[in-house]
Amino acid sequence: MKKILFPLIIIALSILGCNHNQININLTDAIRINQLGYYPESVKKFIVADSIASYFEVIDSEGKSIFKGNLIDNGIWISSGEGASMGDFTKVEKEGAYYILVDGKYRSYPFIINSKLYDKALTAAIKSYYYQRASMPIEEKHGGEYARESGHPDNNCNYHPSSGYENGTLNSQGGWYDAGDYGKYIGNASLSTGQMLLLLEQFPDIIPDGSLNIPESGNDIGDLYDELKYELNWILTMQDDDGGVYHKLTAKTFSGFIMPKDYDLDRWIIGKGTAATLNFAAVLAQASRLYKDFDPQWSSVALAASQKAWNWAIQNNNIEFKNPEDVSTGEYGDDYFADDFYWAAAELYTSTKHEKYLNFLKENKEPVKHELTNSWKFFVRNNAFHSLLENIDQLDNNFSNELRQSQISLADEILTELESNPYGIALNKFEWGSNSDILNQAMILCNTHRITNEEKYLDGAEQINDYIYGKNATGYCFLTGFGSKKVMFPHHRPSGADGIIDPVPGFIVGGPNNDRQDKLQVNYFNTMPAKSYMDIEESYASNEVCINWNAPAVYVMGYLQQKR
Ligand code: G3I
Ligand code: 9MR
């Protein structure tokens, strides 16, 4: 393929206040760099797309060129259709503000090298869950300009016949909205909460009390525990008396782009099935051990609910959820339950040490693998592996060795893929929520680093993470409110309806999606897989936000913050 010199829009002309002011220096988004920056010890790589440039410099805040390197031709990336040249300035370790200058003429977005690199982004990514809270207002003292009135009281939700009841209502207040829509879905809620609980299991003090400025700040309990509890308490409301768990709480259709207070659709308790029940069992067992020390009563309620759910699922082990005919909100359909059983058994065993769960795990082995896409469906098995690895002392030698070895092989596969990819990621398939696939791979590498302490896994996780914040084929930083090439129009109802120019901060958007299920409404400028992304509100297939896309971002940033 013919290489073109910087075909992308040249964004601005000259740079003020630098030594290069005699020369015309152009800012270009063809330099794909982590726009947040790098830790001093990180591998620091970036990509220049479609360029015949040969060298680069790192320019400091005084305009001085402090490092010079060659660009390496990584060939054409089949997923983006562009040439990719790579620059590496890992050797630059001094904290400061910088930009990259390519061939003396083209500059990148600014970035920093700093030991507190992700502190703000991590806080914002967690705070996004607070902004997603249903059934309560966001007060100005916590939400600033994003203050809003309460919506979705959800204290009087109708039972849909698919729930097993013909009439009556359920009080199912609270919890987070799933995404850009106002639905609440048990499977996705459990997966996301579970991923963040893992971070707390590994680093209990990571988000101290007061650090998020949420209503519970000041109660002497770390703020992430409080934020997750808001969701866990909603999850608890979704259990039927017999132990089974309803699949979701939504209206029958999606609402328009309105604020929560303006919502006027009836809310329904919909479906009851094996996957929801097992995901409920898993996350509540996990939470029961993590809240035990400071909330023993709640912890035993959670554990009892979890065991009751497990028992129901053993009796009802193949009840698939499908949207009833009159319901068109998110399906989160799941007809494969082995991974859900495994995650529930893993958490129940870890929390109770009851032999029966251990036997279940031994008799129902799950492959240690990472199925791409639909993380809400398949990634739950990795939640199980990560929790078991974290509590490996509870396993016998055979079990623990096998688990460790499989985890390491999986991580090595990811690293091998990463090494052959021009952008240094391990993904070559871009579907709905591809950004979470990327982040989930980084999460696997972090957990492998945790058990091996081998630097290569941490380096790999970081390079994959760089993709999310700008080292990708679109040049966007995919976290709202952050970076230089910002996402401005996520498919997120409050962001679209609140009249504020900037979207609510701290959300990871879905990212490039080669299936483009919204193509009737959205005119994609570029349809290469890794470029099938549009920052417009209509693009629900590439630009929605979702709790299970933020959760691995929270985990990975948290892990890196603790290890760098
Ligand atoms: O995996 C297949 C692939 O093999 C096939 O080639 C392709 C063809 O279209 O489809 C792929 O499956 C898609 C799957 O996502 C994985 O990419 C499905 O078509 C697509 O419908 C499915 O989209 C799901 C979407 O809901 C629609 O149901 C997303 O995974 C899921 O993350 C998303 O979740 C929504 C909730 O329903 C509602 N709340 C917001 C949330 C985020 O958008
Ligand atoms: O807005 C909806 C979004 O929140 C959902 O995640 C998505 C999942 O299918 O669907 C969106 O709604 C779209 C619907 O599915 C198809 N018609 C256009 C709707 C968005 O404008």
pLDDT in tens, 524-557: 999 999 999 999 999 999 999 999 999 999 999 9
Q: Is 491 a catalytic residue?
A: yes
Protein residue with its CA nearest to atom 5 in ligand 1: 515
Tell me whether residue 487 is exposed, middle or buried, using C-beta atoms within 10 angstroms of its C-beta: 0 to 12, 13 to 18, 19 or more.
buried
CATH of domain 10-113: 2.60.40.10
| Ligand 1 pocket member 433 (CB < 6 A) | yes
Quick check: 71 and 85 in contact, CB under 8 A? yes
Mean pLDDT of 425-443: 96
Q: Quick one: pLDDT at residue 21?
A: 43
Q: How much is the pTM? A: 0.95
Query: How close is the Cα of 464 to the center of ligand 2, in Å?
Result: 29
Q: What is the pLDDT of residue 368?
A: 86
Q: Sorting pLDDT into bands at 50, 70 and 90, what band is 12?
A: very low
For the chain, domain boundaries: 10-113, 119-476+544-563
Q: Whose CA is nearest to atom 30 of ligand 1?
A: 374
pLDDT at 371: 77
Give me the mean pLDDT over the 256-261 stretch.
Answer: 98
Q: pLDDT, tens digit, for every residue of 355-414?
A: 999 999 999 999 888 777 777 888 899 999 999 999 999 999 999 999 999 999 999 999
Set 491, 492, 518, 537: catalytic member: 491
Question: How confident is the prediction for the chain on average, in pLDDT?
Answer: 95
- Please report where in the chains the tokens 């958490």 appear, as a residue: 347
- Separation of 254 CA from ligand 2 center, angstroms? 7
Residue 106 Cβ contacting ligand 2 at under 6 Å: no
Give catalytic status of residue 449 as yes or no: no
- pLDDT for 372 equals 74
Closest CA to 194 of 14, 386, 396, 368: 386
Instruction: Write down the catalytic residue from 82, 181, 339, 462.
Output: 181
544 pocket-lining for ligand 2 (C-beta < 6 Å): yes
Band of the pLDDT at 16, cuts 50, 70, 90? very low
Q: Which atom of ligand 1 is nearest to the CA of 491?
A: 43
Cβ–ligand 2 contact at 254 (below 6 Å) = yes
Given 50, 459, 535, 537, which residue is catalytic?
A: 535
**Ligand 1 atom, smallest distance to 545 CA:** 42
Nearest CA to ligand 2 atom 11: 540
> Does the annotation count 142 as an active-site position?
no
Q: Determine contact, residues 553/479, Cβ cutoff 8 Å.
A: yes
- Could you read off the pLDDT of 21-59 as tens digits, one per residue? 445 689 999 999 999 999 999 999 999 998 889 999 999
Domains 10-113 and 119-476+544-563 share a fold: no
Under CATH, which number does the domain 119-476+544-563 receive?
A: 1.50.10.10
Question: Which tens digit of pLDDT belongs to each residue from 291-318?
Answer: 999 999 999 999 999 999 999 999 999 9
**At residue 422, does pLDDT exceed 60?**
yes
Note the pLDDT tens digit of each residue in 499-520: 999 999 999 999 999 999 999 9
H-helix or E-strand spanning residue 99: strand 96-102
535 is catalytic: yes
Return the pLDDT at 24.
Answer: 67
Q: Residue 1 — pLDDT band, cuts 50, 70, 90? A: very low
Ligand 2, atom 12, residue with closest C-alpha = 254
What share of the chain has pLDDT > 90, as a percent? Answer: 92
Distance (Å) of CA 410 to CA 340, 369, 426 = 20, 6, 12
- Ligand 2 centroid to residue 73 C-alpha, Å: 40
End-to-end Cα, the chain, rounded Å: 40
Query: Atom 35, ligand 1: which residue's CA is nearest?
Result: 330
Note the pLDDT tens digit of each residue in 170-215: 999 999 999 999 999 999 999 999 999 999 999 999 999 999 999 9
